[in-house]
Structure 1
Amino acid sequence: MKGPPVSVMFAVTPSWLIPLAVAIRSLCLHSSPHRNYELHIVHQGLEKRQMKELEKAVSGYPHVSLGFSMLPEKLLRILNGRDCGRFSPLTYGRLLAADLFPRCDRLVYLDVDVLLNGDVAELYGADLQGAPVGAVRDCAVLESMGTGQLPAHLEYISGMGVASARLYCNAGVMVMDLRKMREEETEDRLLGLLESRPEPFPYGDQDIINIALHGRITPLPINWNYHFQFELHHAGMAELVSGTEFEEAPSLFETRSWKLFHLVGDYKPWLPPDMEKTYHRLYLALWWPVARQTPAFRRELRALYRQFTHALRSRLRHHLWSLPFSPGRKFRKRREKIKALQRRLAVFDGLWP
């Protein structure tokens, strides 16, 4: 095997086990057989049967291993009785990565709502240029470029040492130099910020990381945390992003050449279908082909499959029966809905392996 093991951290609650299994499978599909990969799953009370089920996600890939770690008591004491807002306490686990994994000098942190389309070993080896963390700038930066105003949560933290909001990064994908973080006692600063405010930060530990390490997060290429296709549709955005790393986002989208796709937003492709979301079909088309190849949680995935296809076919039948009786503009709109539903159902065509 070439090089040190590629260490990757996930943090998960039981309700996110299915997307985690799919994310892990996508990582395995694009891993190199010439490297070892150590996946560290930080959790809060997973059952043994759930751990065994997750281990199926790496079946057939002997160079990929899973390890499980509980959320540290130190963090639980800090969070005890504290309002975490819309985030699970587990999301704060990445603040303690250097302490959690003392044998690791470097680590990739990944949210579970991601799909790998490239070898995570490449991300692991990214040049951080002496910084303790590398990450991709957040879509909130694009929003501020388009409107000329800071989004509310960036306005909120701008007075806390964040001199340039355009350096704000998405913490869902990070490369962490744990050795440097230990040398600089970064954990103390991160936990100090967490304890300094009784109310939660708008974006939880992502805000904490950006405040504590402002100006010391090396920007990574956006193809390692691609989640920009919506903001770039705004009028005039192409001119605004010219000369920045966001300039390549449209071509990444057109060619599907990203190396990691982040399924941001409230809609997730493993939740009941939401026909009103513009990115519904894209997420389905990306996530379900990998889900169908994932050997873990097969019973649950098949149940989701039946739920999705039943809902889509019911809507399709309704519009097909009503089409002959729909006059004028309503006829055209219904016909467009029929075509959209047919495209969504096409995602589910084919046999399960």
Structure 2
Amino acid sequence: MLATSSRELPLDLNDVVLVFACNELFVPYLSVALQSILVNVSPSRHYDIVVLTRDITPKSMITLTQQASKHNVGLGFLDVDAALGDIKLPHHGHFRPETYFRLLAPTLLDNVDKAIYLDSDIVVCSDVAELFDTDVTGYLLAATRDADTIGQIDGYDPTVYAYLKDQLGMSEPHDYFQAGVLLMNLEKFRQTITAEELLDIATERTWRWLDQDVLNKVVDGHYRRVHMKWNYLVDWQYMRRTHIVAQAPKDVQDEYDEARRDYRIVHYAGPDNRPWLYPDSDLAGLFWQYAAGSPYLEYLRDQLEKSRRTVDGMARRIKAVAIYRGIMHAFDYTCPAGTKRRQKFIEYYERFGGSVG
């Protein structure tokens, strides 16, 4: 069931093509994302979903395939190990090596002209064919501006501007895009840059936002912008909107707020506060609405209960409250966004080994 080439997949790949990257541990959340897509497909289109992986088990593949089987949706699994070889992918924090797999999509799907890439921590609330039909002629990809990162640039973490400008080499850091939802022009990628070149950039150092930085470095602001409603970043810890995005230019804030009112894809991006562990997190109810149709519903419910009742789960919650609603709020109060005091503190923190990535 695990193909080594897109030509081996039992898929037509001739209409709407979607790509995920996932490991075995994340399969239940991928299943919720899949369910949200299935609910919103158009009967007049055909959808093929390719999952890039190296460790999803046959049992999980069967479960996911059965989930999709009653719809006009094909599902296949593509092994990335042959393309990666012995390359070690640097990562840190809550990021996993699978995040790099999207860099391999142009090579692995060599018979596909374009595809939507989706992170697995999303739910789709509309027909993705509308996004797929976006014209990307002349661009490597279409994406949304990253309201979170732009807010950091403009005051929440002023060191980000220098990082994107001097280390990533971006001409204009405010053009930085969010890579959790991408419409990739795979044909142009193959004409422009090889997978080996992308992986060379990825492994030359540990980038702050990993392969998202790699793609932004390569694209350097030349991408087709799509509205943030196609990649709405939830109000993480109920701080993203009021503390981070609030520092961004007015047009970015306005677009973020518009996306909130008319989201098409919801992205549960952030190092913590995921809806499967925190049912009071932003738009968690939407996640559980789609989870109700997932074959992993009981597993997800059990995981939520363990996070509430076990010692480890409670310790994690206490730690999250202490950091995000205690220390970070105190820091925002004593070192307000946009001040030189804040910038100096962050610079010293990073100099002595701290990480804010």
Post-superposition offset of 1:167: 0.8
Q: 1:262 is aligned with what amino acid?
A: H
Residues 272-291 of structure 1 aligned to structure 2 (within 5 Å):
273=278, 280-291=280-291
Q: Could you tell me whether the CA contact under 8 Å between 2:151 and 2:245 is conserved in 1?
A: no
Matched residue SS, 1:123: helix
Q: 2:65 corresponds to which residue?
A: 55
Post-superposition offset of 1:70: 0.9
Post-superposition offset of 1:158: 2.1
> 2:213 and 2:245 mapped to 1: Cα distance?
28
* 1:141 aligns with one of 136, 144, 150: 150
Post-superposition offset of 1:18: 0.7
Matched residue SS, 2:233: coil
Pair 1:85 & 2:92 matched: yes
- For each residue in 1:204-258, what CA deviation from the matched residue of structure 2 results, as whole angstroms up to 9, or x when unmatched? 11111111111222221100001164443249949x633x2541332442x3x20
Matched residue SS, 1:78: coil
Matched residue SS, 1:170: strand
Q: Could you tell me whether the CA contact under 8 Å between 1:105 and 1:178 is conserved in 2?
A: yes
Residues 289-328 of structure 1 aligned to structure 2 (within 5 Å):
289-294=289-294, 296-304=295-303, 306-307=305-306
> 1:125 and 1:94 mapped to 2: Cα distance?
20
Q: Could you tell me whether the CA contact under 8 Å between 1:222 and 1:245 is conserved in 2?
A: no
> 1:92 and 1:44 mapped to 2: Cα distance?
12
Q: Could you tell me whether the CA contact under 8 Å between 2:153 and 2:159 is conserved in 1?
A: yes
Which structure 1 segments of 5+ residues have no match? 275-279, 316-353
Post-superposition offset of 1:302: 4.1
Residues 241-260 of structure 1 aligned to structure 2 (within 5 Å):
241-242=249-250, 244-253=251-260, 255=261, 257-260=262-265
Q: Could you tell me whether the CA contact under 8 Å between 2:90 and 2:97 is conserved in 1?
A: no
* 1:263 aligns with one of 261, 268, 292: 268
Q: 2:206 corresponds to which residue?
A: 200
Q: 1:155 corresponds to which residue?
A: 162
Q: 1:258 is aligned with what amino acid?
A: Y
Matched residue SS, 1:77: coil
> 1:188 and 1:212 mapped to 2: Cα distance?
13
Specify the structure having the higher radius of gyration (Cα): 1
* 1:103 aligns with one of 103, 111, 114: 111
Which structure 2 segments of 5+ residues have no match? 1-12, 315-357
Q: 2:51 corresponds to which residue?
A: 41
Q: 1:27 corresponds to which residue?
A: 37
> 2:83 and 2:103 mapped to 1: Cα distance?
11
> 1:89 and 1:306 mapped to 2: Cα distance?
28
Q: Could you tell me whether the CA contact under 8 Å between 1:22 and 1:291 is conserved in 2?
A: yes
Q: Could you tell me whether the CA contact under 8 Å between 2:83 and 2:104 is conserved in 1?
A: no
> 1:158 and 1:263 mapped to 2: Cα distance?
27
Q: 2:134 corresponds to which residue?
A: 126
Q: 1:342 corresponds to which residue?
A: none
Q: Could you tell me whether the CA contact under 8 Å between 1:146 and 1:234 is conserved in 2?
A: no
> 1:251 and 1:125 mapped to 2: Cα distance?
22
Q: 2:216 corresponds to which residue?
A: 210
Percent of residue pairs identical: 27
Matched residue SS, 2:110: coil
> 2:154 and 2:293 mapped to 1: Cα distance?
39
Q: 2:300 is aligned with what amino acid?
A: L
Pair 1:224 & 2:230 matched: yes
Q: 1:150 is aligned with what amino acid?
A: P
Q: Alpha carbons of 1:134 and 1:235: their partners in 2 closer, same or farther (altered >3 Å)?
A: closer
- For each residue in 1:77-106, what CA deviation from the matched residue of structure 2 results, as whole angstroms up to 9, or x when unmatched? 222xx5432332221111111110111100
More moved, 180-189 vs 25-34: 180-189
> 1:115 and 1:270 mapped to 2: Cα distance?
13
- For each residue in 1:38-96, what CA deviation from the matched residue of structure 2 results, as whole angstroms up to 9, or x when unmatched? 000111122111111112332431x10110011132324222xx543233222111111
> 2:244 and 2:196 mapped to 1: Cα distance?
43
Matched residue SS, 2:26: helix
> 2:162 and 2:84 mapped to 1: Cα distance?
27
- For each residue in 1:331-351, what CA deviation from the matched residue of structure 2 results, as whole angstroms up to 9, or x when unmatched? xxxxxxxxxxxxxxxxxxxxx
* 1:69 aligns with one of 78, 98, 101: 78
Q: Could you tell me whether the CA contact under 8 Å between 2:18 and 2:49 is conserved in 1?
A: yes
